[in-house]
Amino acid sequence: MTSARVEILDPLLGAEGAEAMLRLCEGFGGYGSYAEDKTNAVELAPELAQRHDAAVNFVRTGGRFGRREDPRVLAARTNYFRETYAYDDDVHEGISPFMHHEAFLDAARRVHGRPLVVPNIVYANLLVPGQELSVHTDVPEFRGANRKRLPQWLMVVMHHSGLFDAWRRRIATGIAYFGRCEGGRLAYYPDGAEGAPRTLAAKHDTAAVLDTDSVFHGVDRVAETKPLPPLRPGMRLLFEDGGWTVRDGEKALARYDRDEVRFSVSWKAYCYADEAEQRLVESHADDLALPGILERLEADLRERGRLAGERPADADFALLMIDEYVRFPQPEPAAAPAAAASS
């Protein structure tokens, strides 16, 4: 197996540009819980969380190092905060220089070997002390299938099944770091779920560009400078009076200094072989639809001997698909490695 390509950008923006990103983050104001994200138009097994696959694996295994904790504590550790700075034509003021940064475009061309790169999404992830991000792959897209239309867990299943590669949109992701938070290293698996992970420090004004739809990755625990509050969906992280506050409605649960909160910005761009491929996507002439997607997955499960008789109810069918197709890396028994790997 060939290792996935990972491009490291160090420095990324330079001192002035990096400072501008920090001020943009703080000026944005408030960040909601990622667990609240329910953007898709189609309800399929709505009782499942959008990333049921990653959440259940984290609780079952205890994360990258197999830590055994109360499931409520583990849930709080991954209930991080997110807001979107750009999606399609909805672009927050001030994010354009980051979104169209030439270093990202060049790195994306190298990652996918495709010359035409179109930036599309920028979002921020903020993790407070004691939080981490469970090992996962990102939500891919296919012609006719994206997170606005279908559940996120389903598109992850689609990609891991390998049944829809002809429709998959190649996306390059840049993960950029700003601030001087301790801990929170990026862990990634360029040699697949069976390979050894590499780690990269969340260093101020740097970025890694890779295919996160295919490469398992996660975030090691942010330095636990304060006890972790009982975080749950509905809470918000707000920048107030020069620092960060977690609020449950009007009630303040925790307060953090600037450099205690891990701030990263994810940049995503579509990568096309040529304008003809881009036109095919934009024409919607060869789009997938949900009935055909489910039929193809069902037929494959029957061929594998995993399904007989009638198709089960949506939630049971979803759990079967996740279990069959999404194979996570196994936890490591030792403490986190100290040295960062280069790509």
Task: Compute and round to an integer the Cα radius of gyration of the chain.
Answer: 20
pLDDT at 119 over 60: yes
d(C-alpha 72, C-alpha 74), whole Å: 5
Residue type, 202: A
Catalogue all structural domains in the chain, each as residue range(s) with its CATH number.
7-325 (2.60.120.620)
CB count within 10 Å of CB 300 equals 17
**Beta strands per DSSP E along the chain:** 7-9, 30-33, 81-87, 90-91, 116-127, 133-136, 141-142, 168-169, 171-178, 186-188, 198-200, 206-210, 217-219, 236-240, 243-248, 251-256, 262-272
Work out the percent of the chain whose per-residue pLDDT is above 90: 90
Question: What predicted TM-score, i.e. pTM, was given to this entire model?
Answer: 0.94
Quickly state the pLDDT bin for 261 (edges 50, 70, 90).
Answer: very high
Backbone conformation region of residue 210, classed left if phi is above 0, alpha if psi is from -120 to 50, else beta: beta
Q: Structure tokens of 15?
A: 């001192």
Report the pLDDT averaged over residues 218-235: 95
Say what the pLDDT of residue 29 is.
Answer: 83
Quickly state the pLDDT bin for 333 (edges 50, 70, 90).
Answer: confident
